[in-house]
Amino acid sequence: MNLGSGILKGLVETARNFVGSYYDPARLVTIQYPDERLPLPEKARSFPMLVYDGEDPEKGLRCVACKICEKECPPQCIYIVLDRDEKGRPRRRPRIFDLDISVCMSCQICVEVCPFDSIKMNTEFELSTADRFGSLLLHKMDLAKPASYYLGLHPVEAGQVNARLAAGPGHAETKAKPGAAPAPAAGTTSGATPAGSDRT
Amino acid sequence: MGELARYLVLAALLFGIGLAGVLTRRNAIVVLIGIELMLNAANLNFIAFWRHGPHPEALTGVMFVLFAIAIAAAEAAVGLALVIAVYRHYRTTNLDQIEEMKG
Amino acid sequence: MDIAFLITAAAILAGAAGAMAARNVVHCALCGVVSFAGLAVAFLQLRAEFVGFAQLLVYVGAVAILIVVALLLTRNFEAMHEALAFRPWTLGLAIALLVSGAVVSAILGSGLTGRAPSSAPVPAVKEIGDLLMTRYVVALEVVGVLLTVALIGAALVALREDGPAQRAKPGERGPVEGRPED
Amino acid sequence: MFDALDQLFVSLKHWLVGQLPAALQPWASLVISAAAILGVFMTLFALTVLIERKGLGRIQNRYGPNRVGPWGLLQPMADFIKMLTKEDIVPSGADRVVHFVAPLVMVVPVLLAYAVIPVGRNMAAVDFNAGLLFFFAVGACIELAVFMAGWSSRNKYSLLGGMRAIAQMISYELPLILSTLPVVMLAGSMSLVDITDAQGGHYGGWLARWHVFTPWGLAGLLLFTVAATAESNRAPFDLPEGESEIIAGHLVEYSGFKYALFFIGEYLGMFAVSALGITLFLGGWRAPVLWLEWVPSYMWFFLKLGGFVALFIWLRGTLPRLRADHLMNLAWKFLLPLVLLNAMSAALWHYTAQWTFAGAGLARWLLCASLVGVPYVVLGRRLFAGQHIGPRTYRMAA
């Protein structure tokens, strides 16, 4: 055994790391997050959102306020009030749709039980806020996202949903536009680049 | 007070304080600190006399103090080792509770 | 009297008084350090540079540390609630007062008081070294032997009586370490 | 021209002092020196903290701090503001006075130690005849500060950390002081200015006569560096901090500016001990070769200091922390015999200086080097004998 050779070997190794980190980009694997971002995988999810068709979130909302998700939600973070007209007849759309993302555990059960493909998972994750109660309780207009945005986030899944909506008469409001998927990048406000289907 | 006398008085007072501690305190380690203070008072006297004496170039006072410091260090080491050994037997460092000679 | 001397003297005496009077033994040791350091400064004022630094090195760096380590080993780090001093503590105080009073009066009564310091230069380390190797060489050897004996003696006295041999030495060829479990 | 540049700061100080009335001049001289030391080494401290973080980052293939200012250059400023604005917490059971005094006892002696270091030609604040002893004497006060911090916090981790630190510093003070012994022996002086002067002149007309170019000087520098690393509590000897086992030891209960003072004290201690190593073995402010003499002396000093600091950072990024018993074994069973032998080697070097036969230089070199080198191998083998070193398997590992 050569006394002290271990120390020298270690010093050489760290020196190689030190020098290498300046010219070898393969060594320097750090992603400097707010400036550089990794593309999100297809199945990334954060909290639910409500998908609407067309331009107007009030009219185009796929949700019919059936309240299945409200019942199924394990932490009970969804609160829905059915909208009624002046005579008290139901309007098949929610007047209030509140979702408390400080309670939500992203289990995706609401997505699975929704018969109208209305509630889907968002990928927006930069949700930190200084206001615990106001900003973390999302209302209907906060949750409403256009179908194009959904297609941008999860192209594969949204394509299947769109095909199903176009084909299936079993749904109450089949207003789905089969080939009318707008450019995927249209609504990517979160900055997450849409993941290709090859990543799934 | 003259130049020399003030150092001598300082040393005398220091010696007195150390002596008072040695005579009154119960804790063996505090007594050791008192002894060190008394030794230091003596050292101060040596240095003061050397500096005010007729032959400062002979360095006798300095030499004596250097040896005294070395011996004081040895004394502190042995003294504290004794205190620790005594503590193992009696579980105390109070001098008035250590009264038996039997181990 | 100059200010520097007064400050030094006050620090030395206050430190010593604190060391002898404090209730918490660690405070005693720390006050003692103030006194030792003040004495080092006094040595510097008397232009005994080498001795002053040696005082600082030995007393603050070694003796004080030795004392606090001994304090912790004897579990003396809490303030004491029992009596600090022996019962007739006034007797001890009286003796100390008597002794220092006698010495002070003797100093003030002697003819030495007015002597001024000599203006000899600060002794060079080389001179001290030369003297140690020539005139004081026997004393140096004796001190060396004394320190060695003190080192070994202190280690022996403080050693556990059951001896270190019986106890399992931690970390050295222990049966657990570095062996796969059978 | 070069001389003027070399003596720029010295003449600046003389000019400044000359502006003042004569009664104030000795004091002004001291104050200016102290202010210069404080300013220069505090700046160096800020720079070192940044460079250390960036260097360690690069060693681990990370970027290091790069967000505050261009290339993260303002990071020390941000750290400083953060430290100042943090809450100063004193535990309720703590000994308030000692807890407050401990950081001061840490920083003041370290700053005092710089007084005797010659950072350039004619650039030592004070030239004590026993300068080296002064350095070690004030350095000894740091142990007391560590004890005060550890004890006064009234926390078992801080007490354990403090005791660990004291045991380590006392053990390594011995090899540290003894490794400087050969230099004092051969220079015949304890004044650091004289020791630097003793390294003047050149071998063969070009290579400087630094002590490191002799066998005992090389061994002395290595031994000194190991002991100095331990003495300044730096990795791999940072057991007193031991964040994974005793959560920063004696610093647990310190926050805000008091913590910053400890931090400053540790770094300034590292610079001071590096500066001492440079002065003793690497020729102080002297240039390594004759044709580089024109570079100002203080530049050489700070260049060497930078090299030392870089070495410390490199070691910290490379070596894992020692175990407590290994630490003590290294100090008492390995370093101590070697530094004593090194002193003997230096004496041999001194007495073989008269050899004149052919090849005397080489023979002298080999003889003195083997006096330290052979025991190094023998001692090392003996200490490693019977120890299982290599990949380990653990009971709990699946």
Instruction: Report how many domains make up chain B.
Output: 1
Task: Assess whether pLDDT exceeds 90 at residue A20.
Answer: no
Chain C hits for D388, CB-CB cut-off 8 Å, are 177-179
Residues C1 and C76 in one domain: yes
Least confident of A12-16, D59-63, D178-182, D242-246: D242-246
Residues C143 and C75 in one domain: no
Tokens representing D244 are: 């994974």
Q: Does residue A97 sit in helix, strand or coil?
A: strand
In this complex, whether D and B touch, counting 3 or more CB pairs under 8 angstroms, is: no
Residue A82: beta bridge partners?
A: A94
Evaluate if pTM is beyond 0.90. no
Closest CA to B64 of C35, C143, C119: C143
CB D130 to CB C50 under 8 A?
yes
Task: Answer yes or no: are the C-beta atoms of A148 and A186 closer than 8 Å.
Answer: yes
In this complex, whether A and C touch, counting 3 or more CB pairs under 8 angstroms, is: no
pLDDT digits (tens, 9 = 90+) for B20-40: 888 888 888 888 899 999 999
CB atoms closer than 10 angstroms to residue B65: 26
Least confident of A175-179, C80-84, D137-141: A175-179
Inform me whether the C-beta atom of residue D129 falls under 8 Å from chain A C-beta atoms: no
The rounded distance, in Å, linking the Cα atoms of A97 and A73 is: 14
Average pLDDT value for residue range A166-192: 47
In a domain, residue B70? The reply is yes
The rounded distance, in Å, linking the Cα atoms of B8 and B77 is: 28
What pLDDT does A174 receive?
Answer: 41
Q: What is the ipTM of this complex?
A: 0.75
Nearest C-alpha of chain C: how many angstroms from B78? 5
Angle between helices C25-45 and B28-52 (to 10 degrees): 10
What is the residue range of B41's domain?
3-97
Chain A hits for D319, CB-CB cut-off 8 Å, are 7, 10
CB C171 to CB D323 under 8 A?
yes
Tokens representing D148 are: 């005060």
Whichever domain contains B80, its CATH number is 1.10.287.3510
Residue C85: beta bridge partners?
A: B25
Instruction: Among C80, C100, C132, identify where a domain stops.
Output: C80
What pLDDT does C181 receive?
Answer: 37
Nearest C-alpha of chain A: how many angstroms from D58? 5
CB D151 to CB C126 under 8 A?
no
In a domain, residue C141? The reply is yes
What pLDDT does D275 receive?
Answer: 92
Best interface-test mutation with A: which of D51, D52, D56, D61 has the largest number of A CBs within 10 A?
D61
Nearest C-alpha of chain B: how many angstroms from C173? 29
Best interface-test mutation with C: which of B1, B3, B24 has the largest number of C CBs within 10 A?
B24
Task: Assess whether pLDDT exceeds 70 at residue D345.
Answer: yes
Best interface-test mutation with D: which of C60, C173, C182 has the largest number of D CBs within 10 A?
C60
CB A3 to CB D61 under 8 A?
no
Mean of the per-residue pLDDT values for chain D?
84
Q: With left for phi above 0 and alpha for psi between -120 and 50, is residue D352 left, alpha or beta?
A: alpha
CB A27 to CB D60 under 8 A?
no
Q: Are strands A48-52 and A119-121 parallel, antiparallel or unpaired?
A: antiparallel
The rounded distance, in Å, linking the Cα atoms of D91 and D96 is: 8
CB C16 to CB B37 under 8 A?
yes
3-state secondary structure D198-229: HCCCEECCCEECCHHHCHHHHHHHHHHHHHHH
Chain D hits for A24, CB-CB cut-off 8 Å, are none
Task: Answer yes or no: are the C-beta atoms of A192 and A153 closer than 8 Å.
Answer: yes
Nearest C-alpha of chain B: how many angstroms from C174? 28
Residue A119: beta bridge partners?
A: A50
List the single residue in D63, D318, D380 with the smallest CB-CB distance to A10. Answer: D318
The rounded distance, in Å, linking the Cα atoms of B4 and C107 is: 10
What pLDDT does C142 receive?
Answer: 92
**Highest mean pLDDT range out of A108-112, C100-104, D194-198?**
A108-112
pLDDT digits (tens, 9 = 90+) for C111-149: 766 667 777 777 788 888 888 888 889 989 999 999 899
In a domain, residue C38? The reply is yes
pLDDT digits (tens, 9 = 90+) for D192-218: 888 888 888 777 777 888 888 888 888
What Rg, from alpha-carbon coordinates, does chain A have? 23
Q: How many CB pairs under 8 A join A and D?
A: 45
The rounded distance, in Å, linking the Cα atoms of D220 and D210 is: 12
Residues of chain A that touch chain D, judged by Cβ-Cβ distance less than 8 Å: 1, 3-4, 7, 10-11, 13-15, 17-18, 20-22, 27-30, 32
Band of pLDDT at residue D271, cut at 50, 70 and 90: very high
Mean of the per-residue pLDDT values for chain A?
79
What pLDDT does D312 receive?
Answer: 92
Task: Assess whether pLDDT exceeds 90 at residue D224.
Answer: yes
Task: Answer yes or no: are the C-beta atoms of C125 and D129 closer than 8 Å.
Answer: yes
- Hunting for tokens 């098949």 — which residue is that? A92
List the single residue in D58, D381, D384 with the smallest CB-CB distance to A21. Answer: D58
CB C35 to CB B14 under 8 A?
yes
Chain D hits for C50, CB-CB cut-off 8 Å, are 129-130, 133
B67 vs D15, which has greater pLDDT? Answer: B67
Task: Answer yes or no: are the C-beta atoms of D102 and D251 closer than 8 Å.
Answer: no
Residue of chain B whose Cα is closest to the Cα of C106:
B9
Own/partner pairs, C97-101, CB within 8 angstroms, 24+ separation? C97/B16, C97/B20, C99/B15, C99/B16, C99/B19, C100/B12, C100/B13, C100/B15, C100/B16, C100/B17, C100/B19, C101/B16
Closest CA to D218 of D333, D380, D345, D377: D345
What is the residue range of C156's domain?
124-162
What pLDDT does D221 receive?
Answer: 92
Task: Assess whether pLDDT exceeds 50 at residue D150.
Answer: yes
Find how far residue D319's CA is from the centre of its chain. Answer: 18
Contacts of A27 (CB under 8 A, 6+ apart): A17, A20, A21, D61
Tokens representing D382 are: 């003996």
3-state secondary structure D128-142: CCCHHHHHHHHHHHH
3-state secondary structure chain C: CCHHHHHHHHHHHHHHHHHHHCCEHHHHHHHHHHHHHHHHHHHHHCCCHHHHHHHHHHHHHHHHHHHHHHHHHCCCCCECCCCCECCCHHHHHHHHHHHHHHHHHHHHHCCCCCCCCCCCCCCCHHHHHHHHHCCCHHHHHHHHHHHHHHHHHHHHHHCCCCCCCCCCCCCCCCCCCCCCCC
A73 vs C109, which has greater pLDDT? Answer: A73
Band of pLDDT at residue C77, cut at 50, 70 and 90: low
Instruction: Report how many domains make up chain C.
Output: 2
The rounded distance, in Å, linking the Cα atoms of C62 and D328 is: 18
What pLDDT does C182 receive?
Answer: 36
Inform me whether the C-beta atom of residue C125 falls under 8 Å from chain D C-beta atoms: yes
In a domain, residue C107? The reply is no
CB A3 to CB D381 under 8 A?
yes
Q: Residue A142, class by beta-carbon neighbours within 10 Å (0-12 exposed, 13-18 middle, 19+ buried)? A: middle
Residue of chain C whose Cα is closest to the Cα of B5:
C113
Task: Answer yes or no: are the C-beta atoms of A155 and A197 closer than 8 Å.
Answer: yes
In this complex, whether B and A touch, counting 3 or more CB pairs under 8 angstroms, is: no
Inform me whether the C-beta atom of residue C162 falls under 8 Å from chain D C-beta atoms: no
Domain chopping of chain A, boundaries: 1-30, 48-195
The rounded distance, in Å, linking the Cα atoms of D130 and D113 is: 12
What pLDDT does C112 receive?
Answer: 66
List the single residue in D128, D134, D144 with the smallest CB-CB distance to C60. Answer: D144
The rounded distance, in Å, linking the Cα atoms of D134 and A140 is: 76
Band of pLDDT at residue A195, cut at 50, 70 and 90: very low
CB D144 to CB C64 under 8 A?
yes
The rounded distance, in Å, linking the Cα atoms of D139 and D172 is: 12
Chain C hits for D115, CB-CB cut-off 8 Å, are none
Closest CA to A59 of A180, A173, A154: A173
In a domain, residue B30? The reply is yes
List the single residue in D144, D189, D387 with the smallest CB-CB distance to C33. Answer: D144
* A48-195 has CATH 3.30.70 classification: yes
The rounded distance, in Å, linking the Cα atoms of A178 and A170 is: 16
What Rg, from alpha-carbon coordinates, does chain D have? 23
Closest CA to D29 of D13, D15, D8: D13
Nearest C-alpha of chain A: how many angstroms from D185? 29
The rounded distance, in Å, linking the Cα atoms of A145 and A158 is: 13
In a domain, residue B102? The reply is no
Average pLDDT value for residue range A60-67: 86
What Rg, from alpha-carbon coordinates, does chain B have? 17
What pLDDT does B43 receive?
Answer: 92
CB C57 to CB D163 under 8 A?
no
Q: Does residue A135 sit in helix, strand or coil?
A: coil
